[in-house]
């Protein structure tokens, strides 16, 4: 079964690594999503990988929705060129808006903030707050260790069998989008409403 995504939340770092492949990857993701007619929902910054994704998507004529907390608006140099820029009260509201505005999630390489966003999307899938695909773009083997840890959690019994494949991994964007389009929602632990989060 194929899914047409209207918008995808893109999680990635606000840093600019020394290795130029990461910025190029983010640029290619933004451009490709825009050319496919898929809107980008992202962290609202104009630096690092976040800036590369948004700039490329906008340059290709795509929709870009930024969501940034008040406390980070000036620190991360918010991108006023977005199609829409939402300034929210905090990180929790930011992640909830990512979820509400998107048909799925793609995580690019990033740091602690990116991991927070990824694991929240996974946790909310387990709890039944959303039934959207959670994609992980494992470019350059960046997330090999994370995927091994995810397997270890499942094998040890900390992740239910029904939830061990919530994270959909792909090494290229085309492969990842194809896998995400074939996604079947998992069996939820609970059915959580937005107001319960």
The domain ranges of the chain are 7-196
SS3 content of the chain, % helix, strand, coil (to 5): 45, 15, 40
Are 125 and 118 a contacting pair, CB within 8 Å? no
**Phi, psi dihedral angles at 147 (to 5 degrees):** -65, -35
Which pLDDT score is estimated for 161? 86
Decide yes or no: CATH 3.40.50.2300 for domain 7-196: no
Q: Which three-class secondary structure state does DSSP give residue 175? A: helix
Say how far apart CA 87 and CA 7 lie, in whole Å: 19
Number of neighbouring beta carbons within 10 Å of residue 17: 14
The helix/strand count (H/E) of the chain reads as 7, 7
- Core vs surface per residue 56-68: b (16+ CB within 10 A) or e: bbbeeebbbbbbb
Say how far apart CA 147 and CA 145 lie, in whole Å: 5
Write the CA distances from 64 to 52, 80, 90, 145, 163, integer angstroms: 12, 11, 20, 31, 30
Query: Residues 156, 159, 165, 171: what is their CA dihedral angle, to the nearest 10 degrees?
Result: -70
* Residues in the chain where the model's pLDDT stays below 70: 1-3, 74-76, 187-197
Are 48 and 15 a contacting pair, CB within 8 Å? yes
Q: At what angle do helices 21-35 and 173-181 cross, to 10 degrees?
A: 50
List all residues 6 or more positions away from 123 whose beta carbon is below 8 Å from its beta carbon.
none
């Amino acid at each position: 079964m194929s899914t047409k995504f209207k918008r995808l939340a893109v999680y990635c770092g606000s840093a600019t690594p020394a290795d130029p492949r990461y910025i190029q990857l983010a640029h290619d993701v933004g451009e490709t999503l825009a050319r496919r007619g898929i809107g980008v929902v992202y962290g609202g910054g104009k630096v690092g990988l976040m800036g590369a994704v948004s700039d490329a998507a906008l340059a290709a004529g795509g929709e870009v929705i930024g969501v940034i907390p008040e406390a980070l608006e000036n620190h991360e140099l918010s991108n006023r060129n977005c199609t829409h820029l939402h300034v929210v009260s905090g990180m929790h509201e930011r992640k909830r808006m990512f979820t509400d505005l998107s048909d799925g999630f793609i995580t690019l390489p990033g740091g602690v903030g990116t991991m927070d966003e990824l694991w929240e999307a996974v946790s909310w899938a387990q709890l039944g707050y959303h039934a959207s695909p959670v994609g992980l773009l494992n470019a350059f083997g960046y997330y090999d260790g994370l995927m091994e840890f995810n397997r270890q959690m499942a094998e040890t019994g900390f992740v239910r069998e029904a939830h061990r494949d919530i994270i959909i991994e792909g090494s290229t964007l085309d492969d990842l989008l194809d896998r995400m389009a074939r996604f079947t929602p998992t069996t939820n632990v609970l059915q959580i409403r937005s107001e319960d989060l």
